Amino acid sequence: MRAEQIRIWGLLCCLMLLLPSGCRRADPVYNTRFLAFGTLMDLSLVGVEPQKAEEVAQLLEQDFAFMQRAWHAWDPGPLGRVNRLLPTGKFFAAPPSILPLLRKSQQLARQTDDLFNPAIGKLIALWGFHTDAPACRPPPDARAIRNLVRADPKMSDIEVRGIEIRSKNPAVQLDFGAIGKGYGIDLAIDHLRELGIRNAIVNAGGDLRAIGDRSGHPWRIAIRHPNGGVFAILQIAGDESVFTSGDYERNFIYEGKTYHHIIDPRTGWPAEGTRSVTVVHSDATTADAAATALFIAGSEGWYPIARRLGIRYVLLLDSQGRIHMNPAMAKRVQLLEGDLPVLLSPPLLDAP
Ligand code: ADP
Ligand code: MG
């Protein structure tokens, strides 16, 4: 996404969040933004004194700068070091900033039949997505893709022994692009709570977690249409995360065809058939990984994986313009384009 698109979308999100939905006198909302994880982060704090809000925002900005460095997929740093040592096949001490994310990723990879697979860093690099602005160029050599798929790198290839790790497969290269934002937002919410904040949103370019409410009103969240604009609104309150994976986030066009950044580990090519998936879940880490996995699973395969992950709300827009969702999501989402065909799945869990 280009810088001006980020700004416009950030502004749009912000406007939507601030739409009044009642008449009670509202506590002031302190909004601040900074860049992290290559996207614009929006922090909204409700009813906090401006000076305290300023201090809190600075602490969070520092947190995110630390996390971005720790988990960066191609800049040198802790993850770079891990990726240099994994192919040796020998045990080494994993940096403390990596180990919890690695363990969580192993669990989520297992639950998604490895559709969420942060071990495919080599494939993502081969596709040219280990750069800030993916260049328009031909897709990689089909044989090189096939070789990496055959090498079958998986999170389960990584053995964890205390604080030491090793990979049994030299093709494993870690890329936390599909989970880092969610995990970082969960840590940020923990930090906010420690600082006594009860009502807030941490929003990374449309992917967010909210706690509390906005002066007694739910937060209103805009879901972006892959072609631009807003196509749905969700109201959330309490403690919920909303994450969307879409083919529009990072991509390049070559000879009229768009190649996006969500790679199907089974083929090595960008996943086909899905435009975007929005997941609502309590924690942001699961929501982030789930959105990526369900995007790849597509309209035919998303349901059993969502069940296994314990997700209660899913909305998937397929390449034919059809919306797939579970009944509980249908009940709470407000679709702004009424003429799109909707296919309802059986219920997921017993959503309240
Ligand atoms: P975004 O970060 O744009 O919201 P995602 O959460 O879906 O999108 O993450 C996509 C990123 O995750 C890619 O840029 C890449 O770094 C990484 N990735 C791509 N395919 C996979 C996959 N199958 N499993 C895990 N990570 C992936
Ligand atoms: Mg994700």
Residue 182 CA to ligand 2 center (angstroms) comes to: 7
Cα of 26 from ligand 1 centre, angstroms = 37
Verify whether ligand 1 is closer than 6 Å to residue 261 (CB atom): yes
Q: Which ligand is nearest to the CA of 290?
A: 2
Predicted pLDDT at 138: 95
Pairing of strands 323-325, 342-344: parallel
Which domains are delineated in the chain?
Answer: 3-61+198-336 (3.10.520.10), 70-178 (1.10.3980.10)
Burial 106-124 (b: 16+ CB within 10 A, else e): bebbebbbbbbbbbbbbbb
CA distance 88 to 81: 12
Q: Which residues pair with 158 in a beta bridge?
A: 167
The answer to whether the CB of 129 is under 6 A from ligand 1 is yes
CB 184 less than 6 A from any atom of ligand 1: no
Which residue type is seen at 206?
G
In this structure, what token pair is assigned to residue 162?
């205390």
pTM of the model: 0.93
Q: How far is the CA of 348 from the centre of ligand 2 (A)?
A: 20
Ligand 2 centroid, distance to 318 Cα (angstroms): 17
For residue 339, the model assigns a pLDDT of 86
Q: Closest by alpha carbon to 197, among 208, 189, 206?
A: 189
- The CA–CA distances, whole Å, from 120 to 145, 159, 176, 292, 348 equal 11, 16, 10, 13, 29
Residue 350: the pLDDT is 57
Cβ density class 217-229: b for 16+ within 10 Å, e for less: bbbbbbbbbbeee
Mean pLDDT by 10-residue block, N- to C-terminus, for the chain (352 residues)? 39 42 68 92 94 95 96 95 98 97 98 98 97 90 98 98 98 98 98 97 96 93 93 93 94 93 98 98 98 98 98 97 97 91 91 50
- Picking from 272, 271, 246, 253, the residue whose alpha carbon sits closest to that of residue 123 is 271
Question: In 3-state terms, what secondary structure has residue 222?
Answer: strand
Q: Is 183 helix (H, G, I), strand (E, B) or coil?
A: helix
